[in-house]
Amino acid sequence: MQSNGGFFDTGERYGSHIKTAMGMGWGETETMISKMLKDAFITDDALRPVVATKFTPSPWRTTAKSVVEACEASRERLGVDSIDLYQIHMPDIVKPLRFLGKDETYDEQYWEGLAECYHRGLVKNVGVSIYGPTLVTKCHDALAKRGVPLASNQIAYSLIGRHNGAQQTVDRCNELGVKVLAYYPFAMGLLTGKYSSLSPEMATEDVVTSLSSSRRSKLELKDLQRYANGDGKEIQAGGISPLLRAMEAIASARGKTVAQVALNYIICKGALPIAGSRTADQVTDNLGALGWRLSEDEVTLLEHTADGLGINFDGAGFKKTSEKFVGYGMERWTLN
């Protein structure tokens, strides 16, 4: 938090892994962040960390008022007068009674709620998550009519996660002046070399980690190993090794790490990577992605190499970029 790079992205529905999966634990991480920021020592010359949270579309939330009420509750748990960035967690896709023909969506009501929160001063900025080009355009235009700028759209985006509408979404957001916040910028660690035989000097100490010491679930590790090494079927033998070698060559020439190259690529495409960190070393390494830019030739080389793999990273285990477990089953969506 002393690095002027503090950004905390949470949501009202986040609790522990088990509670979140069960639809419980709402507000726990917001309360934890509030306590952490109160206990932290931040000098006067350091920028205050930015805190973002999210409203969760649910079957019982069908009005703009539901957004305002949820925002008020999040604001209270975070202990702030005004939330830095308030986002809609995802399109309104949770429809447990769809099989009965009850699948009306309330996205427009949610946008109205965001506008109300903005005009009341409950939030400084508003954003959305997992919106494709069409929906983000509709939201941008609807908010503009209320005099509210759409600040951001959070989607999964990385060198090996540019397909299924992701790149088109980034391009459209850049045209609209909406900043893309890219989650999974490392493709869950794959683009740091964590699951491959990356040269140690190209990674931070924390990145050189064996699969056996990972905190990932067994199902996640199985999927990540398949991407990293290939399975000879859907993913060619060697997995993402050719891309990591290209990234390593660029990192070596620039005196950077592979992780910094992965983050800088996203910055070069006009997006802001959300790079999670567990240690101070990882924070320092992430900040090393700032203050420089890959050349156009380097960007082209990375994209050409990534496309040659024939891989579209869509998450691992139950953490997918285009589907979510919502209690009664899986709901799927596309960025279109």
Say how many C-beta atoms besides its own lie within 10 A of residue 108's C-beta.
13
CA distance 231 to 279: 32
Which ranges in the chain belong to alpha helices (H)? 17-21, 28-39, 64-78, 107-120, 133-145, 166-176, 218-229, 241-254, 258-268, 280-287, 296-308
Tokens 């509750």, residue?
A: 73
Residues annotated as part of the active site: 14
- Cβ atoms of 107 and 92 within 8 Å: the answer is yes
Q: What contacts 194, CB < 8 A, 6 or more positions away?
A: 186, 203, 207, 208, 209, 214
Which ranges in 4-53 belong to alpha helices (H)? 17-21, 28-39
CA distance 275 to 218: 23
